Amino acid sequence: MGGDEAPEQIVKGAVLTANDPEREFDIMLCGPQKVVEEELKKNGYSGDAITVVDAPDLVAMDESPTKVIKEKQKSGLVTCVALQKQGLAQASVSAGNSGAMMASCLMILGRAANISRPAIACAVPTAKRQTILLDCGANVDEKPSTLVDFALCGSIYAEAVMGYKNPTVGLVNMGEEEKKGTEVLQETHKLLKQAPLNFIGNIEGRDLIKGSADVAVAPGYAGNVILKLMEGFYELAHEVFGEVHTEKSKEFNRLWDYRNHGGGLLLGLNGVGIVTHGRADSIAIRHSLFTAYKFAIAGVPAKLQAKLSAIKESTGN
């Protein structure tokens, strides 16, 4: 029931996925049973790839995460994450209240060892290939060491899921020079130079669009603003150039349409949690489900855990 388009588009997206010949996983839809079953009927679905799990509690988009955890145990998002904890699901996807989803994942799945705070990581479009941008808004007022954790997480994600070899890591800043930016960013720059990463230094907004770094690290505030600017830019380009059909424009649409991005991964958890767009339609939901599967199959949380432990041991931190 999460997101602006629930339950219609969520269920429609699940049905799209269930009917996809490339699907190698099953789907559990957690929501008020009757409502969800009604939607499945509307979509003409009667297959066995989708199971409905009753979760009658509704969570508002602006509801306090703490309140949701305490009082909405039977909400879709808490139910889903709890199924994952029990080993009945391998990944959880929500288009609802992202703060509540993060809190739910943190409380139920737990934080990966050696990680100060989990981040939301998104594969964002560039002029070349996707860049892993994090944090996209799970945190505020991060310490330099937390930003370094984000860089490590993002680097492991880029390698394990995107297949980028020795991914380059850039720090989103307001100039190339080491002494640019806030105090926190200047300190982070110093730490990143010493970290076991392919750190290429500060990157500016323009470099980000050019695809100059495989992983772009930013405080949650800036990362969130960047993510949403990119969406806005795609929407504007669509409005201005929507009728253009060239090879270049098709490639642009494929990369930049946020519905193709699969949502944000909550990185630094003992499990796979994805927050997808509040405005997610059925196509976005389908992408998020396939992305969730990819993360689970790639074993991102375990790989991250193993690499982080190795790094932290070797550097004695």
The contact set with its own copies (CB under 8 A) reads 62, 127, 137, 140-141, 172-175, 177, 181-183, 185, 204-210, 218, 220-222, 224-233, 235-237, 239-241, 243-244, 246, 248-249, 251-252
Cα torsion angle, 286, 232, 168, 106, sign: negative
Q: Which is nearer to its own copies, 191 or 225 (CB)?
A: 225
**Least distance in Å: CB of 213 to its own copies?**
13
**Least distance in Å: CB of 146 to its own copies?**
14
Residue 308: partners with Cβ closer than 8 Å, 6 or more residues away: 112, 113, 114, 115, 152, 153, 156
Q: What is the dihedral of CA 105, 301, 294, 192, to 10 degrees?
A: 110
Q: What is the dihedral of CA 187, 190, 195, 197, to 10 degrees?
A: 100
Q: Which is nearer to its own copies, 26 or 176 (CB)?
A: 176
Q: Which is nearer to its own copies, 88 or 174 (CB)?
A: 174
Q: Which is nearer to its own copies, 241 or 302 (CB)?
A: 241
**Least distance in Å: CB of 161 to its own copies?**
24
**Least distance in Å: CB of 29 to its own copies?**
27
**Least distance in Å: CB of 105 to its own copies?**
19
Q: What is the dihedral of CA 67, 1, 268, 184, to 10 degrees?
A: -70
Tell me whether strands 215-217 and 131-134 are parallel, antiparallel or unpaired. Answer: parallel
**Least distance in Å: CB of 129 to its own copies?**
14
Q: Is the peptide bond before 7 cis (omega within 30 degrees of 0)?
A: yes
Q: Which is nearer to its own copies, 114 or 146 (CB)?
A: 146
Tell me whether strands 92-94 and 273-275 are parallel, antiparallel or unpaired. Answer: parallel
Q: Which is nearer to its own copies, 270 or 276 (CB)?
A: 276
Alpha helix stretches (DSSP H) within 43-174: 65-71, 76-85, 98-108, 144-160
In Å, how far are 6, 17, 282 from 35, measured between CA atoms? Answer: 10, 19, 17
